[in-house]
Amino acid sequence: MKKVICRSIFVLLAVGGFAALAICIQLGVTQGFDEWVYGWVSQTITPVLTEFLKIITYAGDVFVIIGICVLLLIIPGTRKKVGIPASISVAVAIGLSVMFKHIFSRPRPSVLRLIEETGFSFPSAHAMLSSALYIMLILVCKYLKSILAKIVLVPCLSALILVVAYSRVYLGVHYITDIIGGWLIGFAITLIVYTVCRLTFLKR
């Protein structure tokens, strides 16, 4: 029960943070911060890094994320304790991403774009979906039998979330506040879905 309360507090903080961030963006308060972060990131642009990030950014692409969920659902050993929670989390994230983007209708950055993207900017769907999936995988990796898999998965998935987020700013298709907003909602979704799954069919 204490863990459920703790998760609920984190969810409220994440949702509250998202709401506060959305208001600040609408008021133009974050513009200086967004520009400062992009200015710093743009100094790291190199041909090799650009090609690498053009590939790694697909780890947050909706079709790749859905493909991973389908794979987890197909494999019998991961279906119940990994595939179902991850798929629910991603499905909710996709729906909320579409809704929020249309509600806020924030244009994408007008800086140099290294890839082409369409649609609105806030919140970042890549950040939201990658956090919804990969954080869920971190949470449910306790159900894996292999200790080595647990040791490898947690830092790798954590790094992947960060690198995907970095790639979106680097490639000029998102502001850092889009990323933060996506993380906050993705994190909240994951905790809610994980808690519900734990209370229903997931066992220690």
- Read off the pLDDT of residues 76-106 as tens digits, 9 standing for 90 and up: 878 888 889 999 999 999 999 999 999 999 9
Rounded distance between C-alpha atoms, residue 7 and residue 25, angstroms: 27
At residue 44, φ and ψ (nearest 5 deg) are -95, 0
Two structure tokens written together for 159: 């790094």
Token match 């493909």: residue? 67
Rounded distance between C-alpha atoms, residue 183 and residue 200, angstroms: 26
- Residues contacting 201, CB < 8 A, separation 6+: 80, 84
Q: What are the distances in angstroms from CA 64 to CA 51, 74, 82?
A: 18, 15, 17
- Burial tier of 98 (Cβ tally within 10 Å: 0-12, 13-18, 19+): middle
Indicate if the pLDDT at residue 140 is higher than 70: yes
Rounded distance between C-alpha atoms, residue 59 and residue 64, angstroms: 6
pTM beyond cutoff 0.75: yes
Residue with the larger pLDDT of the pair 143 and 178: 178
User: What DSSP state is assigned to residue 109?
Assistant: P
Indicate if the pLDDT at residue 204 is higher than 60: no
Indicate if the pLDDT at residue 108 is higher than 90: yes
Task: Please state, as a whole number, how many other Cβ atoms lie within 10 Å of the Cβ of residue 154.
Answer: 15
Asked if 25 contacts 104 with a C-beta cutoff of 8 angstroms, the reply is: yes
Give the mean pLDDT of 67-81.
Answer: 89
Asked if 14 contacts 85 with a C-beta cutoff of 8 angstroms, the reply is: no
